[in-house]
Amino acid sequence: MSNAEKTLVIVATYNEMENLPDLVEQVFATVPQVDLLVIDDNSPDGTGRWCHEKAADDPRLYCLHREGKLGLGTATIAGMKYAVEHGYKFVLNMDADFSHHPKYLPALLAGMDPENGRPVDVMIGSRYAPGGGVEGWGLKRHFMSRSVNLYTRWLLGLKPKDCSGSFRCYRTELLNRIDFDRIRSRGYSVLEELLWHLKRAGATFKEMPIVFVDRQRGSSKINSKEAVAALWIIFALGVRNWLGLAPKQGAS
């Protein structure tokens, strides 16, 4: 199968040795036809080294080693650029910590080209679509997540209910219309900013319900500084959106 008919799954990692081996095994057990790219930010715990050694035995696994902890946003963009440059049909992003369970991968992929329906450009594994949900969060985190999504949808004019979740499948042809150099986010706000740029490029969105499970192993990488930076970037994009200051993305 050529890359033009294939999917690249991308996973950004920093100190995910407790999760990555099991995740790789379950991804390939669930969707053996995909390739998987791990973007590792020089993890001190050996995540990148394990991936490099494993990739030597499995031609479906690739590793992109970066010099340091450069952020989720730049890692996500690096993975998307890799998918575009190597001619994949779809690129599917997921977390490394099993918050996004591999069991949902077949449905996400099937939703891109449904048998009786219009092809989709971005398929979102959604916590907030009917039937979706979250396990393991306290009331404060539920409130924060709902508030961020409401804030984002209002400022950026986005329709998906889950704009801050990273479990998504993208049609690479649409990503090829995005000027990645325009993306300002280096952290978690890249998720909302990508949807905004794709909306302006004419993308179609669809959500399918998932149950997000808070990580069981390892530690979360988000902190208050990144959260504040994300809110500020979304606000700045919202101003541009409401004032019509940003030019529409064009085909490359």
Output the pLDDT for position 193.
92
Q: Which of 161, 212, 157, 168 is nearest to 190 (CA)?
A: 168
- Return the H-helix or E-strand segment holding 236: helix 224-243
What confidence category does residue 252 fall into, taking pLDDT thresholds of 50, 70 and 90?
Answer: very low
The full DSSP string for 89-133 is SEEEE--SSSSS-GGGHHHHHHTTS-TTS---SEEEEESSSTT-E
Residue 210 to residue 51: CA distance in whole angstroms: 27
Residue 132 lies in a domain: yes
When comparing pLDDT for 142 and 220, which is higher?
142
Q: With respect to residue 248, please indicate whether it lies within any of the assigned structural domains.
A: no
Q: Is the pLDDT of residue 215 over 90?
A: no
- Band the pLDDT of 186: cuts 50, 70, 90: confident
- Band (pLDDT 50/70/90 cuts) for residue 216 is confident
37-82 residue pLDDT tens: 999 999 999 999 999 999 999 999 999 999 988 888 899 999 999 9
- Is 54 contained in some domain? yes
Mean pLDDT of 138-157: 92
- How large a percentage of the chain has pLDDT more than 90? 71
Q: Does residue 222 sit within a domain?
A: yes
Number of domains in the chain: 1
CATH number at residue 169: 3.90.550.10
Domain presence at residue 55: yes
**252 assigned to some structural domain:** no
Ranked by mean pLDDT, which of 79-93, 211-225, 234-248 comes out on top? Answer: 79-93
For 83-98, what is each residue's pLDDT tens digit?
999 999 999 999 999 9
Do the domain assignments include residue 249? no
For residue 225 the two structure tokens come to: 């500084």
- Bigger pLDDT: 102 vs 222: 102
Residue 85 confidence (pLDDT): 95
Distance CA 249, CA 200 (A): 6
pLDDT value at 251 more than 50: no
Distances (CA, A) of 115 to 98, 118, 119, 120, 132: 29, 9, 9, 12, 23
- Whether residue 239 is contained in a domain is answered as yes
Answer yes or no: is pLDDT of 143 > 70: yes
Give how far the C-alpha of residue 20 lies from the chain's centroid of Cα atoms, to the nearest Å. Answer: 16
- Predicted local distance difference test score (pLDDT) of residue 222: 59
Amino acid at 97: D
Q: What pLDDT is stored for residue 230 in this prediction?
A: 76
pLDDT the model gives residue 249 = 53
Q: What is the pLDDT of residues 113-122, one digit of tens each?
A: 987 788 999 9
Residue 194 and residue 197: Cα distance in Å, rounded? 5
Q: State what percent of residues in the chain have pLDDT above 70.
A: 93
Give the residue numbers spanning the domain of 71. Answer: 3-243
Between 198 and 246, the more confident residue is 198
> What is the separation of C-alpha 88 from the centre of its chain, rounded to a whole number of angstroms?
16
